[in-house]
Structures are given as C-alpha cells and as structure tokens.
Amino acid sequence: MERKNIRLEELDINKRIITHLQAQGISELFPPQASAFKTDVLNGKNLVLAIPTSSGKTLVAEICMLKAILDGRGKALYLVPLKSLAREKYAEFKKYESLGITTSMSVGDYDSPGKSLHDADIVIVTTERADSLVRHKVEWLNDVGIVVADEVHLINDQKRGPTLEMVLAKLTQIVKDIQIVALSATISNANQIAEWLDAELVRDTWRPVPLSEGVYLDGKISFYRDGKNTQRRINRTRRDELADVVCDTLDEDGQVLVFVSSRRSTIAVAKKLAPFLRRYISDEAMRQLSKGATKIGGAPSAPEASKILARLIANGAAFHHAGLDNKERALVEDYFKENLLKVIVATPTLAAGVNLPSRRVIVRDYRRYEPERGSYPIPILEYKQMAGRAGRPKYDEYGEAVLIARTEPEQDFLIDNYTLSEPEEITSKLASPRAVRAHLLASVAAEMTRNREEIDSLIAGTFFSHQFDQWEINQHVSSALGFLEEGSLIETSTDGSYTATPLGKRTSELYIDPYTAILLRDVLSETDDHNIIGILHLICHTPDQPLTYVTKSEAEEYEVTVDDYLDKLMIEPPIEESPRAYSDFLAQIKTATLLQDWISEKTEKDITERYNVGMGDVHRFVQSAEWLTYAASEISRIINATSHIHFLHNLRSRLRYGVRSDILELVDLKGVGRVRGRMLHSHNLVNLPDLYKVPIEELARIPTIGTSIAESIKKQLGFDIKLTDTETEDLIDDDDSIDSMQTLLEDFGA
Ligand SMILES: Nc1ncnc2c1ncn2[C@@H]1O[C@H](COP(=O)(O)OP(=O)(O)OP(=O)(O)O)[C@@H](O)[C@H]1O
Ligand SMILES: [Mg+2]
C-alpha cells in the first residue's frame, strides 16, 4: 500500500536539526515515523514504537532525544543490548557534534574517548552498564530527561531481561518525569509494554524496503511477500547447496549474511564458502582485503583462530561471533559495509538492530543446542530479527530472508512456523531466584527501598507485575530477602526496615551475585592459607565466572587434573551428586587451568589451541576472573581476612597482564605488555632502575622494543623526550583493563 511521506519541515523541531538531517540525506519521514510524531512524544509523552525492522525507529528516538536536550528537559540515555549495535549508534550520534550535541558510549571493555559520560548529552550504554550506574547512584542520572530502550524485546531474555525491566522501573522511580521511548520490531504484545510504561503505542507493518521471506528446497526458493507466493530457481552448479544460494545473490552484486547456530559452524561454513568468492572481488578489493588480513593474523604469534579469520578475510569471507576481539569485530563489520567482504557467517550476535548491506540473509540453522536444554527450534522472534537484517534502506532496494529445508515436510514446517508466523508474545523473566536476590540487594543497598512496602512498590512497577499477579513473585521476594539476611548482606531492624551491611553494599557495587559474595566470604574467612590454583578454582566456582566446556573426550584428562590438585582446592569436588554438578566442576577446573596458563605467560596461540577457544573468549575469562579476584580482595578487607589481601592483589595484577610476578613492575609501563616485559627481563632489565640506567639506543635495539617504545618508556621514567613518532600511542598494545563486572554480561553469549 502506497502511503504519503511527510516532509521533515512539518515537524515542530529546531530548524538546525532539520538542516542537519537533510544533509544526511533524510528529507522525508517514513509513514510509521510520521505516525510516531502524531503522538505527544515530542512533548515528553512515553512511546512504544512497534514497527518493522529497518523502518527507522532510531531516527524517531534521535529526534525525541534532540528535542528533549534542546528543550532543556535533560540528557538522553540510549540503552542497547549488543556491542556492535552500540558502535553503530555511536558513529551515527557523533555526527550531532556539529550542532554542539555530544555523545559518549560505555559498553563492555570499551569506553569512547573524549567526553565523559557526565558531560555528554547523549549516553549510549548497555543495559547492565545502566544498572550499574543506578547502583552507584551516579549523580548525573538525575539530569536524564529521556531514556530510549532499543530492542526492548530483550525483556524476554532469560538472563538479561530482568535487568532491563528493573532498570526501567528504577529510573521511573528515581528520576522525576523521565520520558521513556521503547523500540522493537518484534513484539506482538506491544500493547502490554505500552500499558506497563503508560505510553502511547504506534504499530505499523510498513517497511521502506520490501522484505521477501522464503524457504529453500532442492534448487528453488519459495518466497512470500504481502500474501503472494513466488518461486526463484537457483543454479545448482556447485555441489554445495548453501554456496548456490549465496552465489545466486552475489551474481546480482548483492552481499550475503548467513546465520548459523554455533561459533564452530561460523568458521566451518565461512571456510566452505570462501573458495567460491574470488570471481566476485576486484583486484583492488583483493589488495585491501589482504591488508586487513595482515592486521588480524599477520603477527607470527597470532592465535590460530585469528589466522583462520585472516585467511578467510583475504578471500572475501569472514565469520563473526562473540569470541572475536574488538579489533576483529570492527574490521569485519567495516569491511562488509564497504563491500569488500562479500559474505559474513555469524551467530546471533549480529541479529539485532545493525544496518548491514546484506541483501540476502540466510538462516541456515533454525535449531540450536544448549547443554541444559538439548536441541530446540529458535523462537520466531529471533528468526524475525535475523531476517530483518536483510534489505536496509542505506544499502539495498529489496531484501530476502531464506531458511534452508532438506525435505518437503520440513519446508512446510518452516513456512508455517517461521516465514508466515508472527513473533511470540514476550514475557517477563524476573521471577527467578538469581535475578530477584541481585536486584533486591541493589535497591536496598542504594537506599531506594528501605522496607517491604517500598520493595513491593518497586516490584509493582516492573513488567512482571503488570503481566502477572504480584503474588506470583512475592514468594521469590520473601525467599530472596531471607537469603540476603541469612547471608548477612542485609539486616532488618526492629521496625522492619532493611539496611545493607558493608558487605552487602560492596557486593551490589561490585555487580556480583550475592551468592558469589557469600561463597567468597565463607571460604576466605575459614582459612589463612591460599594458593594460586585454589583461588582460581574458587573464582571459577562462582556463578559469575564464564566457563569453557569440557568435551566428552577431555573429561578423563580433567578428572586426573582434579586428583592432582586435590590438596590445593578450596572447594571439594561434588560427591554422589548429579553428573551435571560433576561436569560443571570439571569445566571450572579446566577454566582455572586456562587462567593459570595465562598468568604463566603461555602464548595466546598455545592457550587458544590447547583449550579450543578464541582470543575473545580468553579475554572474557581473564577479565571476569580479574574482577572476581578484586571482589575477593575487597571482601577479605571487609571481613578482616587480611592474610589474603596482598596475595589477591598480586594475583589480580598477574591476571590483568598475563604475567609472572617478576615482571609486574615492568608491565605497569604503558606499551609494555607480557611479551615486551619478558623480553626486557631476558635482557637483564628487570626493574625500573635498570630501565632508567640503560642507554636509550641500547633499549631500542632490543627485539620488539624499537625506537618509539624505547622513547615512550624513557619518557614515562621522567626523561625529557619528545616522541619522534606521533603515532606511538597506536603502536602501544594497551592491555585492556576492565573496570567492572556488568560489562561481561552483555552480548547474548552468542
Ligand atoms: N526518513 C528516512 N529517510 C531515509 N532513510 C531513513 C529514514 N529513517 C531512517 N532511515 C534509514 O533507515 C535505516 C534503518 O533505520 P534503523 O536502523 O533506525 O531501523 P530500525 O527501525 O531501528 O530497524 P531494526 O528493528 O532492525 O533495528 C538507517 O540506515 C536509517 O538511516
Ligand atoms: Mg533499530
């Protein structure tokens, strides 16, 4: 159905914004955007915008944020679930700097340089970071006038959903008159979200770029669009059906995004497709690709996974999953946007919000495997999000989403259950012991709720209470309060009011599970003894530490390791418990061993190969262990278990840098990491006085050091040196340090 667009000038907003948007190539509003502005949203009314993928929800949110900022209603908080999405939005919002409107971002281990969150007008954060800001009672939160919840269907997520609804409930309670704008393409019960948020609701099915969804079987895609069914024949010339479906789009100069269910498959499928791509890539593009490949996998010490990625990139294909590190992730996304890479094979970590030039999205796997659940078909909502990555206005005139069937009954199943289906209703996942105890402690510790009545009123403001009877969660609330009190994280006074103990307060600020704090406290208060593997395993035994898996064939090896370590462990192996508890225990032992290798300076290559993980994973394990070690030292301090403190501090530094104790002093220098630190040490430069004394020329001659690093070291030691190379900063492999726990919880773990 053709509908009239509305010109930007008709909007009641500052003319400078209009001119700015026009310069970005936006002159008219899409019809659903126009409907959004017919509500009272520009005057501060809450809005739920439930319109299709790629229909421009961000622009609506953007204009609302700018209006709130320029009207003096306060700064804007933009919540996102995924790192890649945050990066994209940051790049977009930064363009408003020419209007004097500044943007900052804080996600995961990456904070945008420049303006601090405090000073910025627009602040982009992950849900967990927002929660942490609330816990720390960050003062500028009171200046927030508008919060945008992008991809608000995250509420449906078992792990992360509770945090999002609590953040929204808390912000509404602590910031007077805060405006909420919630966005999603895939909530069929958007009316419930709107009622919950007391928001106007705008729904629409209009999409600027038509999207056909279909299912491939046996040389043919059966497409559906607007109720019409069409068939597309696929040239079957390659003895690989997936390659045929991919090349069908490449033949017409399009690009393809393939979704698969596991990281391992991303690599396998990318490898399988790469040999078919050469003829679609110009020589000039080949040269650029090979430059990028060198950046990723060029160093002899690069981990095997990075080398594989590099080889694929050089051939025009790439894989993408949460195990990639920031540099790899950015390069893959940017090269795809520049049409250098023709194909990306990804896990759902690219499935929401991002704008990519993928004319065709292929969802190869509609089943997923999780150890706890076995194999199950993915929710329609997730399929629709993946499908929605196809056909984005900036890049394509049309989009196609294709599922792959092997048999006719399967094709029918896919058409009925995905192609022609509406997403499921989203439901609150707040009623879980883990979520409730963490969020209750946080609200008591921040003095937001001082008694049961106030707790009930906070809970009453959640989506859970809107959707279900509150009594259903009362039970969880009562037992969580009991748990926190018994664990001495909170205290009840005679008048029934709650206060957090010093340990409870710190637990909340540290963003760790109350269960973790109690475990660490109990174990560390019991003994003055400690040893590396014992502590590393204790850390891995907490529910906050991500773990690697133990495969069936590895189980025996780690059973032996358990026996070897038995005297040193601070937690005993489970006896006669479920096999599940034992296999968890083995996974903890395996992860602890990995961490021990890291602080023994085993190379990245050795670690990734021995444990069959990517470097991104290693960083994740290490960062989280570093944080939990810090948490353990904080807890030791609070409970006066002073014998552990120095040991834990030392261990924390070793985890941060991945080094033995003898070079800790060296790696504290900027630009000196585990490799250069060891190199200096092996040249008899073992401490700062040695480095002070050594002539700069000699220092520069040491392998891996060179002139710019030598200069930088000398400068840090107080020498008056002008850096000859202004790009030194780039040369310096900064050791990513992490400042808190919530950053690890983002990304769907995909
Ligand atoms: N009025 C407009 N005119 C032209 N292009 C627009 C307009 N509004 C948005 N766009 C462009 O459309 C693209 C998709 O917008 P956006 O990312 O906001 O989609 P979305 O609705 O958030 O989709 P998703 O549900 O997938 O996140 C962007 O590249 C954006 O610049
Ligand atoms: Mg979006």
The enclosing domain of 716 has a CATH number of 1.10.150
pLDDT reading at 60 higher than 60: yes
Final residue before a domain boundary, out of 392, 419, 446:
419
Torsion-angle region of residue 420: left (phi > 0), alpha (psi -120 to 50) or beta?
Answer: alpha
User: For residue 706, what pLDDT is reported?
Assistant: 85
* Residues 344 and 264 occupy one common structural domain: yes
pLDDT band for position 5 (cuts 50, 70, 90): low
Tokens of 496: 């029934």
Q: Which atom of ligand 1 is nearest to the CA of 24?
A: 31
Boundaries of domain holding 330:
211-419
* Residues 652 and 675 occupy one common structural domain: no
Measured by CA distance, the residue closest to atom 27 of ligand 1 is 353
Q: Which atom of ligand 1 is nearest to the CA of 30?
A: 1
* Residues 303 and 371 occupy one common structural domain: yes
Q: What is the mean pLDDT of residues 598-625?
A: 87
Give the Cβ contact number of residue 750 at 10 Å.
20
How many angstroms separate the alpha carbon of residue 58 from the centre of ligand 2?
6
How many angstroms separate the alpha carbon of residue 151 from the centre of ligand 2?
7
Count the residues in the chain. 750
How many angstroms separate the alpha carbon of residue 75 from the centre of ligand 2?
20
pLDDT band for position 263 (cuts 50, 70, 90): confident
Of 289, 345, 357, nearest to 319 by C-alpha is 345
Considering every ligand atom, which ligand is closest to the CA of 54? 1
Q: Say how far apart CA 705 and CA 662 lie, in whole Å.
A: 19
Tokens of 69: 């900022």
* Residues 561 and 691 occupy one common structural domain: no
User: For residue 734, what pLDDT is reported?
Assistant: 33
How many angstroms separate the alpha carbon of residue 286 from the centre of ligand 2?
32
User: For residue 371, what pLDDT is reported?
Assistant: 62
User: For residue 728, what pLDDT is reported?
Assistant: 40
Final residue before a domain boundary, out of 419, 454, 478:
419
Tokens of 337: 């946007």
Q: Say how far apart CA 423 and CA 687 lie, in whole Å.
A: 61
Q: What is the mean pLDDT of residues 39-45?
A: 93
Average pLDDT of the chain to the nearest whole number: 89
User: Each residue of 217-262: pLDDT tens digit?
Assistant: 999 999 999 889 999 999 898 889 999 999 999 999 999 999 998 8
Considering every ligand atom, which ligand is closest to the CA of 28? 1
With beta carbons less than 8 A apart as the criterion, state whether 512 and 442 touch.
no
Q: Say how far apart CA 366 and CA 345 lie, in whole Å.
A: 14
How many angstroms separate the alpha carbon of residue 355 from the centre of ligand 2?
8
Tokens of 331: 């390069």
Give the CATH number, domain containing residue 347. 3.40.50.300
How many angstroms separate the alpha carbon of residue 561 from the centre of ligand 2?
47
Q: Which atom of ligand 1 is nearest to the CA of 5?
A: 1
How many angstroms separate the alpha carbon of residue 53 from the centre of ligand 2?
7
Residue 172 covered by a domain? yes
Give the CATH number, domain containing residue 649. 1.10.3380.30
* Residues 501 and 633 occupy one common structural domain: no
* Residues 175 and 159 occupy one common structural domain: yes
Q: Say how far apart CA 600 and CA 194 lie, in whole Å.
A: 54
Considering every ligand atom, which ligand is closest to the CA of 381? 1
User: Each residue of 390-428: pLDDT tens digit?
Assistant: 999 989 999 999 999 999 999 999 999 999 999 999 999
Give percent of the chain above pLDDT 90.
66
Q: Say how far apart CA 675 and CA 669 lie, in whole Å.
A: 13
With beta carbons less than 8 A apart as the criterion, state whether 750 and 617 touch.
no
User: For residue 14, what pLDDT is reported?
Assistant: 87
* Residues 444 and 415 occupy one common structural domain: no
Measured by CA distance, the residue closest to atom 15 of ligand 1 is 56
Q: What is the mean pLDDT of residues 83-87?
A: 84
pLDDT reading at 65 higher than 90: yes
Residue with tokens 């009453």: 460
Strands 220-225, 211-217: pairing is antiparallel
Q: What is the mean pLDDT of residues 57-79?
A: 94
Q: What is the mean pLDDT of residues 347-368?
A: 90
* Residues 566 and 448 occupy one common structural domain: no
Query: Which of 59, 82, 124, when mutated, tests ligand 1's pocket best, judged by the most ligand atoms within 8 Å of its CB?
Result: 59
Q: Which atom of ligand 1 is nearest to the CA of 353?
A: 27
pLDDT reading at 732 higher than 50: no
How many angstroms separate the alpha carbon of residue 393 from the centre of ligand 1?
7
pLDDT reading at 6 higher than 80: no
Q: What is the mean pLDDT of residues 15-34?
A: 90
Contacts of 671 (CB under 8 A, 6+ apart): 709, 712, 713, 728, 731, 732, 733, 734
Strands 103-107, 110-111: pairing is antiparallel
Residue 428 covered by a domain? no
Edge-first strand listing for the sheet containing 360-363: 228-233, 220-225, 211-217, 399-404, 360-363, 256-259, 343-346, 317-320
pLDDT reading at 523 higher than 90: yes
Give the CATH number, domain containing residue 464. 1.10.10.10
User: Each residue of 543-580: pLDDT tens digit?
Assistant: 999 999 898 889 999 999 999 999 999 999 987 667 78
User: For residue 50, what pLDDT is reported?
Assistant: 96
Angle at which helices 31-38 and 57-70 cross, to 10°: 40
Measured by CA distance, the residue closest to atom 4 of ligand 1 is 26
Q: What is the mean pLDDT of residues 673-684?
A: 91
Residue 71 covered by a domain? yes
Give percent of the chain above pLDDT 70.
94
Q: Cα–chain-centroid distance for residue 377?
A: 23
* Residues 565 and 644 occupy one common structural domain: yes
Residue 425 covered by a domain? no
Measured by CA distance, the residue closest to atom 29 of ligand 1 is 394
Name every protein residue with a CB atom under 6 angstroms from any ligand 1 atom: 26, 28-30, 33, 53-59, 185, 353, 355, 388, 392-394
How many angstroms separate the alpha carbon of residue 388 from the centre of ligand 2?
10
How many angstroms separate the alpha carbon of residue 684 from the centre of ligand 1?
58
* Residues 492 and 537 occupy one common structural domain: no
User: For residue 723, what pLDDT is reported?
Assistant: 61
User: For residue 197, what pLDDT is reported?
Assistant: 95
Q: Any idea what DSSP says for residue 550?
A: -
User: For residue 2, what pLDDT is reported?
Assistant: 53
Final residue before a domain boundary, out of 178, 203, 228:
203
Query: Which of 55, 89, 211, 350, when mutated, tests ligand 1's pocket best, judged by the most ligand atoms within 8 Å of its CB?
Result: 55
Q: Which atom of ligand 1 is nearest to the CA of 184?
A: 25
Of 167, 69, 43, 193, nearest to 123 by C-alpha is 69
User: For residue 79, what pLDDT is reported?
Assistant: 95
> What's the domain count of the chain?
5
Q: What is the pTM of this model?
A: 0.84
Q: What is the mean pLDDT of residues 664-679?
A: 88
Residue 426 covered by a domain? no
With beta carbons less than 8 A apart as the criterion, state whether 440 and 477 touch.
yes
Contacts of 172 (CB under 8 A, 6+ apart): 178, 180, 461
DSSP codes of every residue in 689-742: HHHHHS-HHHHHHSTTTHHHHHHHHHHHTT-----S-TTHHHHS-PPP----SG
Residue 1 covered by a domain? no
Burial class (CB in 10 A: 0-12, 13-18, 19+), 16: middle
Residue 505 covered by a domain? yes
User: For residue 576, what pLDDT is reported?
Assistant: 64
User: For residue 705, what pLDDT is reported?
Assistant: 87
With beta carbons less than 8 A apart as the criterion, state whether 563 and 533 touch.
no
Query: Which of 13, 20, 54, 356, when mutated, tests ligand 1's pocket best, judged by the most ligand atoms within 8 Å of its CB?
Result: 54
Q: Which atom of ligand 1 is nearest to the CA of 51?
A: 21
Residue 427 covered by a domain? no
Considering every ligand atom, which ligand is closest to the CA of 392? 1
pLDDT reading at 285 higher than 70: yes
Q: Which atom of ligand 1 is nearest to the CA of 25?
A: 4
* Residues 161 and 221 occupy one common structural domain: no
pLDDT reading at 739 higher than 80: no
Residue with tokens 């409970």: 639
Helix extents (H) in 566-614: 579-599, 604-611
Rg of the chain's alpha carbons, rounded to an integer? 27
User: Each residue of 649-671: pLDDT tens digit?
Assistant: 999 999 999 999 999 999 888 88
Q: Which residues surround ligand 2, an ion (CB under 5 A)?
A: 57, 353
With beta carbons less than 8 A apart as the criterion, state whether 481 and 506 touch.
no
User: For residue 730, what pLDDT is reported?
Assistant: 37
* Residues 327 and 196 occupy one common structural domain: no
How many angstroms separate the alpha carbon of residue 626 from the centre of ligand 2?
34
Q: CA dist 413 to 365, 401, 420, 734, Å?
A: 14, 16, 10, 51
Q: Which atom of ligand 1 is nearest to the CA of 8?
A: 1
